Amino acid sequence: MNQRDSWNQPTRRMLLRAGLSFGAVAASPSALAAPAGFEQWRDKFRQHALSKGITPATWDLCMARVEPDMSVFKEFDNQPEFNEETWQYINRRVSDWRIIHGKEALKKNTALFARIERDFGVERGTLLALWGVESAYGDPLVQKNHMRPIFPSLAALAWNAPRRKAYWQSELVNALRIVDKGWSTPAEMRGSWAGAMGHTQWMPEVWLNVGIDYDGDGKISPFGKPDDALGSTAKFLVDRGHYRRGEHWGYEVKATGRTMRGNRSYAAWASAGVTRANGEAFRQPDASAQMWIPVDGGPAFLLGPNFYSVRSYNPSMNYALAICHLGDRILGGGPFIQPFPGSERALTLAEVQEMQTRLTRAGFDTGGTDGRVGNDTMQAVRDFQLKAGIQPADGYGGLEVLARLRQGG
């Protein structure tokens, strides 16, 4: 989508062009004094916020004493969706931990997902995967350890972002408007470095314009019970991603002979020699899809419109593939059949726990040994790789890292 040079052009898509996902969230903000020029900007921006209907009381509550979180700028270009090998990206997110806990989350919320499927037509696997990747299924430790107050973050970006400044200014006004409406408080509004909050990482604009009171408690919130967050995320996929009821996102396929291009029905693809990699039939032969091969020699996919609906939530193809594949795995599907060139299998849950335990014993703090790979574990792996001379020191905890740890480093 195009960014207009105005105060009112916010979308989650534009945020995610800046690289947001749970795996990229920094652990804590920097406590720095407001740099020169910020207070003058804040005084000027106050007049703009008041002109947009924000009350002076809300401004004073949220912004009168705020200092910009300058640590956001080192996160600005940290985009793992675009910097990792595709197989590494998939392995990190389609992990045993997320699959196991996704099944548990489904058991606890079966009625909620059935209602969402009935109301919006969005497959439960897709929403489970989004929930798992964005907030580890709403784990309160994620909120406590990896989220920060959003007003200092948005103030820094609205004041001095190197690009899309109008977008960040718009989101700051949106955040103020949420407080002005009485929907939340500055203390509750903790999120990523870029201002995304709650179970499925809502930006303020999404909260205001897409959020629904799905649990009927009289307020709209991405926090607490997951009903509002998951119901509103389904609405987002339908309204902004044009999600199609009853269609699967796509399939891993194998092709014989010349591969066609363009958007064709699954029946047409099958007539051209393209079949599902697992040998099963295409569920809806008349639905349309197009071919995508992420890496030459790796798995090939036919992608339907619902794959691109997921991509509307984050414009990375790798992100959308990870979400769609994780959703399938949670619901009982198997791993990709054709491996990516140069890839290795993902560690099992037990292997990740062993890696974390060995790293911790070696003096590299992983923040826990539960088998969930978060920022602390990735940093511990990166530090170990640097010490052990493993290149690239990319923080990917795979078979090579585990083998070196077993050898004593």
DSSP-derived secondary structure letter, 4: P
Share of the chain above pLDDT 70, in %: 89
The pLDDT score that the predictor gives to residue 237 is 98
The pLDDT score that the predictor gives to residue 140 is 86
Residue 25 pLDDT > 50, yes or no?
no
Question: Could you give the CA distance from residue 38 to residue 160 in angstroms, rounded to a whole number?
Answer: 9
31-84: per-residue pLDDT in tens?
345 577 999 999 999 999 999 999 999 999 999 999 999 999 888 766 555 468
Question: Could you give the CA distance from residue 270 to residue 288 in angstroms, rounded to a whole number?
Answer: 12
Quick one: average pLDDT of 116-137?
97
Of 177 and 374, the one with more pLDDT = 177
Quick one: average pLDDT of 364-368?
94
The pLDDT score that the predictor gives to residue 143 is 77
Structure tokens at 117: 């499927």
DSSP-derived secondary structure letter, 257: S
Torsion of CA 262, 263, 268, 270, to 10 degrees: 80
Quick one: average pLDDT of 143-168?
92
The pLDDT score that the predictor gives to residue 27 is 32
The pLDDT score that the predictor gives to residue 7 is 30
The pLDDT score that the predictor gives to residue 319 is 96
Can you tell me whether residue 304 is helix, strand or coil? coil
- Of 329, 351, 313, 315, the closest CA to residue 230 belongs to 313
Structure tokens at 147: 């989220």
Residue 2 pLDDT > 70, yes or no?
no
Residue 30 pLDDT > 60, yes or no?
no
The pLDDT score that the predictor gives to residue 12 is 46
The pLDDT score that the predictor gives to residue 84 is 82
Residue 254 pLDDT > 70, yes or no?
yes
The pLDDT score that the predictor gives to residue 245 is 97
Mean pLDDT of the chain: 89
188-239: per-residue pLDDT in tens?
999 999 999 999 999 999 999 999 999 999 999 999 999 999 999 999 999 9
Of 235 and 26, the one with more pLDDT = 235
Residue 126 pLDDT > 90, yes or no?
yes
Task: Please give the single-letter amino acid code of residue 132.
Answer: G
Calculate the alpha carbon distances from 110 to 116, 288, 314 in Å: 10, 30, 26
82-98: per-residue pLDDT in tens?
468 999 999 999 999 99
Burial of 62 from C-beta contacts in 10 A (0-12 / 13-18 / 19+): buried
Quick one: average pLDDT of 297-326?
97
Can you tell me whether residue 166 is helix, strand or coil? helix
Share of the chain above pLDDT 90, in %: 81
Question: Could you give the CA distance from residue 3 to residue 278 in angstroms, rounded to a whole number?
Answer: 42
Q: Which residues contact 138 (CB under 8 A, 6 or more apart)?
A: 131, 199, 226, 229
Calculate the alpha carbon distances from 325 to 111, 227, 334 in Å: 23, 23, 9
The pLDDT score that the predictor gives to residue 34 is 58
CB-based contact 178:207 (threshold 8 Å): yes
Question: Could you give the CA distance from residue 356 to residue 256 in angstroms, rounded to a whole number?
Answer: 43
Residue 296 pLDDT > 70, yes or no?
yes
Calculate the alpha carbon distances from 349 to 45, 97, 151, 246 in Å: 49, 6, 37, 33
The pLDDT score that the predictor gives to residue 80 is 53
The pLDDT score that the predictor gives to residue 273 is 92
Quick one: average pLDDT of 257-262?
73
Taken as a whole, the chain contains a residue count of 409
Can you tell me whether residue 362 is helix, strand or coil? coil
Burial of 284 from C-beta contacts in 10 A (0-12 / 13-18 / 19+): middle
**Whole-prediction pTM:** 0.89
- The backbone region for 258, taken as left when phi is positive above 0, alpha when psi lies in -120 to 50, beta otherwise, is beta
Beta strand pairing call for 288-292 and 263-265: antiparallel
